[in-house]
Amino acid sequence: MKSLIVANWKMNPDSLEEAKNLFNLIKRGLTKTKNKKLEVVICPPFVYLPLFLGSSTFAQTRLRYGGSSVAFGVGGQDCFWEEKGAFTGEISPVMLKNLGCQYVILGHSERRRHFLENDEMINKKIKATIFSKLNPILCIGETQVERDKGLTKKILNFQIRKGLKGIAKKEIKKIIIAYEPVWAIGTGKSCSLKDARVAGDFIRRTISLIHSRKIAKGLRILYGGSVNSENAANYIFAANFQGLLVGGASLNAKEFIKILNNVT
Ligand code: PGA
pLDDT band at 28 (very low <50, low <70, confident <90, very high): confident
To test ligand 1's pocket by mutation, which of 112, 245, 251, 256 has the most ligand atoms within 8 angstroms of CB? 245
Determine which residue's CA is closest to atom 2 belonging to ligand 1.
247
pLDDT band at 6 (very low <50, low <70, confident <90, very high): very high
Residue 160 and residue 203 in contact, taking contact as beta carbons nearer than 8 Å: yes
pLDDT of residue 242: 97
- 211 counts as catalytic: no
Tens digits of per-residue pLDDT, 142-189? 999 999 999 999 999 999 999 999 999 889 989 999 999 999 999 999
pLDDT band at 51 (very low <50, low <70, confident <90, very high): confident
Lowest pLDDT segment from 53-67, 115-129, 167-181, 208-222: 53-67
pTM (2 d.p.): 0.94
Could you tell me if the CB of 105 is within 6 A of ligand 1?
no
Using alpha carbons, list the distances in angstroms from residue 34 to 96, 122, 175.
Answer: 30, 37, 28
Could you tell me if the CB of 30 is within 6 A of ligand 1?
no
pLDDT of residue 59: 45
pLDDT of residue 87: 98
What is the C-alpha separation between 40 and 59, in angstroms, rounded? 10
Strands (E), 142-264: 176-179, 220-224, 243-246
Mean pLDDT of the chain: 91
pLDDT of residue 29: 79
Catalytic residue among 39, 142, 180, 211: 180
Check whether 55 has a pLDDT greater than 50: no
Check whether 78 has a pLDDT greater than 70: yes
pLDDT of residue 35: 57
- 114 counts as catalytic: no
Mean pLDDT of 17-30: 88
Determine which residue's CA is closest to atom 9 belonging to ligand 1.
247
Instruction: Please give the torsion angle defined by the CA atoms of residues 126, 231, 233 and 178, in that order, rounded to the nearest 10 degrees.
Output: -10
Determine which residue's CA is closest to atom 6 belonging to ligand 1.
247
What is the C-alpha separation between 219 and 134, in angstroms, rounded? 16
Alpha-carbon Rg for the chain, nearest whole angstrom, is 17
Check whether 65 has a pLDDT greater than 90: no
Tens digits of per-residue pLDDT, 103-131? 999 999 999 999 999 999 999 999 999 99
Catalytic residue among 108, 110, 117, 142: 108
Determine which residue's CA is closest to atom 3 belonging to ligand 1.
247
Could you tell me if the CB of 76 is within 6 A of ligand 1?
no
